[in-house]
Structure 1
Amino acid sequence: MFSQLKELLNVSLPIDRKKFFVTGIILFFIKYSIDRIIAYAFFDRLWWISEYFKDPGKIVLQKFEPEESRFYFTLLLVSLPFIYLGTIFCIKRLRSIGLSSFWVLLFFVPFLNFLMFFLLSVLPENLYNNKEVGSSPEFFPKSKLIVSIWSIIFAASISLLFSIFSTDILKAYGASLFVGGPFIIGFTSVVLYSRAEPVDFKQAMLISFTAISIAGILTLIVALEGIICLMMAAPLAYFLGFLGGGIAYLLQAKSKLVSSILPFLFLILPSVAYLEANLDKKSDWYMVETSLKISSSREKVWKGLFEFSDIPEPKEIIFNAGVSYPVRARVEGKGIGAIRYCEFNNGVFVEEITNWDENNSLEFNVIRQPDAMKELSPYKNIRPTHLDGYFASKKGSFQLVSLGKNETLLIGRTWFLNKFGPTTYWNVWIHWILHKIHYRVLDHIRNSVEVSS
């Protein structure tokens, strides 16, 4: 029995897929049983298998509540022997298949380790071993399917780690994240693939597309972002991913040289992110203007700014997907210094009136505002860092322009602050959303005023 155990723990000896799978399952349930006993006996709480998949970003980044620190630290200590065993068995299995032990690094990437376990459990022995006796296993296998899978997984996992570093450690949502990240994903995935197999342009685009998609899915799984933000970032990410993949396609004749400098590229990206996060950057204000003709006098439209019923539930997809939308508004007081409350579905904008020109214009500064959106996510109450001041409404106004006896042009304006990069790209989305919000309010005022007229 001792000799069998010694053989099982010998990293230089191979292990077949059946023994690897059975051993992995047994170790997982032993670990789960120990965690469950510790949770119940010492911390008076239940622990289910699903807990390993709840808000994993919190566990990865150690964002614990003070009372939970001791509990998670205990689980981490208990995990150390299982991490050791898992590393040994993964290396043994990689060598049995004929892959470099370097791929064991994926064992330490949340969720990718489950995919790795599945692949190592189904791939046959000696799949990538060289035929020459004494030759060492290739880092890049020769199978088109498998090499594409490994290339995509590697690029996506590197992107995930960088996203965690940028958003949760540096608190930066700059060009390095939204421009450099997708470009590196597309570039890296195609470069790694071309090391083992020449790639045509169509294959390069497909590999880039898949790598960007996997990176987005991983970002959603580890609760870094919700569906709405990922959808808004997708056009830019895919474009830059295709660009990176296209450049890698052109350089594939020199793929060995290019892949050798990839580690330096991975160092440049977080360095740029660090500079973005720490350099003093002036934040400019931007303005969005929306206008609507109303068949009524300025006096009635002015009155309608303060007295209108609740706005009906929205039909727009963007609002039903989680972006905040206005529900009603009211003003306490009159003249400069009065307070306007613009109630949204997830909170209240508190606004101080700074200009009160009756029947002509109303201006206000935003004192307090709710979150810009509620992220769609598999997890409850996900709250990405960017909800804290990266977009902020600063001031707003209504202007009434007479176009005739019973015709008024109502103009709504919002000034906002945008700390996302690249600013030009994200301003397109912000302008579109604010136009939707403006139109929702202006159209309701028009309907209310015209009906009363």
Structure 2
Amino acid sequence: MEAAYWWGAVIGALVGAAVGVGGTALYKGAVAAFVAQMKGPRTWTACGGSAMFSVLLSGMALLVFAMEGLVCLPMAAPLIVGLALLGSWLGWLAGGGKTQSGAQLALPSIGVLALAVGGGSILPAPDSSGEVTTVWHLFAPPERLWPHVLALPSLPEPDWWLFRLGVAYPLRSETKPDGARTCDLSTGPMPEIVTRRDEYRRLAFRVIKTPPSMRELNPFGKVHASHLTSVYRGKEGEFLLSPEGSGTLLIARSSYGLRMGPFWYWRLWPDSIVSHVHERVVQEIERRSSFDSIGR
């Protein structure tokens, strides 16, 4: 391959590094493809390859300088790769990869799209809200489940892969008579305040402070990325218990705030994580209530 191909990847990585997550990927792909054609026309496949190499260089730099870790980068990869390929196509058109009219359309499109998907690097991302609800049918009456809804002294080691890689998960919880509640996560305590307590039926609470969302893995050093504490924020949670035959219909509901766009993509991760948190907590509630039954 000619030097222009490699220079396209390197310059794309450098330019993208100054823009922001979404805009970075799009600019990275566009610049890499444009520079790769400076010595002559290239196929879009070749320009796309230059863009992907640029993405790889950026990812390696983020790891080496401990700016990101081995959890966040794979989370972002599908979005970044897709935007970089779109940018490379626009950069290919802008560099005359097809027609002059295509170049005239591509140049303004690169700027508009990069601002649309990467504006969060210039303006604060809106605090979008999400909610996760899970429903469980448990073979124990509400009266036997309730004490464990109020407090779980400990939970077993997690087996879900994201928890094992460092994403925050609950270790224990306690609800005090004065309405104070604490849920200790693997990354720190999460103080809460009870907003509604109906014995054997409902426990609702509001999150006061959210600890870091994960402990990043990085072989080159400790990661202090701001998004570990500023992007995800727990808002409210509740447990609803309804008698159902000889058992209980238990509904767990959690709401959160997320300051990262595009929300439609990034919400996929907290939705899945919160759902697994619910599963972890409810399974422990069920396990402890079954021991209560045996004890009787």
TM over 0.5: yes
Secondary structure of the 2:140 match is: coil
Alignment-mate amino acid for residue 410 of structure 1: L
Question: What do residues 296-323 of structure 1 show as CA deviations (whole Å, max 9, x unaligned)?
Answer: 1111111221344521111111011111
State the structure with more CA Rg.
1
Gaps of 5+ in 2: none
Indicate which of 247, 253, 278 corresponds to 1:413: 253
| Structure 1 counterpart of 2:69 | 226
Asked if the contact 2:51/2:84 (under 8 Å) is kept, the reply is: yes
Deviation at 1:411, TM superposition (A): 1.4
In structure 2, the partner of 1:135 is none
1:184 is displaced (CA, Å) by: 1.3
Q: Equivalent residue of 1:314, what SS?
A: coil
Is 1:353 matched with 2:194?
Answer: yes
Q: In structure 2, what is the Cα distance between the partners aligned to 1:235 and 1:281?
A: 20
Gaps of 5+ in 1: 1-143, 163-176
Q: Does 1:374 align with 2:204?
A: no
- How many residues were matched structurally? 292
| Match of residue 285 from structure 2 | 445
C-alpha displacement at 1:220, in angstroms? 2.2
Counterpart in the other structure of 1:338 = 179
Residue 157 of structure 1 is matched in structure 2 by: 14
8 Å CA contact retained: 1:195, 1:256: no
Q: Which residue in the other structure is 1:306 paired with?
A: 150
Specify whether residues 415 and 330 from structure 1 end up closer, same or farther in structure 2 by C-alpha distance, changes over 3 A only: same
Alignment RMSD: 3.1
Range moving further from structure 2, 277-286 or 369-378: 277-286
The aligned counterpart of 1:389 is: 230
1:216 is matched with: 59
CA contact (8 A) 1:294 1:409 kept: yes
Alignment CA distance shift 1:263-1:379 (3 Å): farther
Residue 402 of structure 1 is aligned with which of 237, 243, 246? 243
TM-score, normalization: structure 1? 0.58
TM-score computed with the length of structure 2 as normaliser: 0.86
Alpha-carbon displacement from aligned partner over 1:345-391 (angstroms, at most 9, x marks no partner): 12111111110011111001111231111111234432211233321
Offset of 1:295 from its aligned partner?
A: 0.9
2:85 alignment counterpart:
242
What is the Cα deviation at residue 277 of structure 1? 6.5
Residues 278 and 255 (structure 1), Cα distance of their counterparts in 2 relative to 1, 3 Å cut: same
One-letter amino acid of the counterpart of residue 191, structure 2: V
**Secondary structure at 2:207 match in 1:** strand
Q: Which has the higher contact order (CA 8 A, sep 6+)?
A: 2
TM-superposed CA distance for 1:280, in Å, is 7.9
The amino acid across from 2:28 in the alignment is I
1:421 CA drift (Å): 1.1
Q: C-alpha separation between the residues in 2 aligned to 1:451 and 1:205? A: 58
Shift of 1:275: 6.9
Q: Distance in 2 between matches of 1:208 and 1:270?
A: 15
CA distance in 2, matches of 1:436, 1:387: 19
Instruction: Indicate whether 1:292 and 2:136 are aligned.
Output: yes
What are the superposed Cα offsets for residues 254-306 of structure 1, whole Å, 9 maximum, x if unpaired? 6998999x999999899889975776876343211122221111111112213
Q: Look up the equivalent residue of 1:443 and give its one-letter code.
A: Q
User: For the Cα contact (< 8 Å) 1:148–1:207, is it kept in 2?
Assistant: yes
Match for residue 362 of structure 1 among 200, 203, 218: 203
In 2, Cα distance between equivalents of 1:423 and 1:270: 16
Residue-by-residue CA offset, 1:411-438 (whole Å, 9 max, x unaligned): 1111111111111111111111111111
Cα distance between partner residues in 1 of 2:110 and 2:95: 19
Distance 1:386 1:155 in 2: 24
In the alignment, is the contact (CA less than 8 A) between 1:292 and 1:443 conserved in 2? no
**Are positions 1:184 and 2:24 aligned together?**
no
How many angstroms apart in 2 are the aligned matches of 1:414 and 1:274? 28
1:196 and 1:390 map into 2 onto residues whose CA distance is 42
Structure 1 residues 226 and 269, CA gap change in structure 2 (3 angstroms): farther
Partners of 1:320 and 1:396 lie apart in 2 by 24
**For the structure 1 residues 221 and 279, does the alpha-carbon distance in structure 2 shift closer, same or farther, using more than 3 Å as the test?**
closer
CA gap of 1:197–1:449, structure 2 versus 1, over 3 A, is farther
Is the contact between residue 71 and residue 217 of structure 2 (CA under 8 Å) also seen in structure 1? yes
**2:37 aligned residue (194, 197, 201):** 194
Whether 1:326 aligns to 2:167 is no
Q: Rate the CA distance shift 1:427–1:274 in 2: closer, same or farther, 3 A.
A: closer
Distance 1:236 1:326, change over 3 A: same
Aligned counterparts, 1:53-68, within 5 A:
none
> Closer, same or farther in 2 for the Cα pair 1:439/1:329, shift >3 Å?
same
Aligned to 1:203: 46
For the residue of structure 2 that corresponds to 1:382, the secondary structure is coil
Distance 2:211 2:35 in 1: 45
The aligned counterpart of 1:32 is none
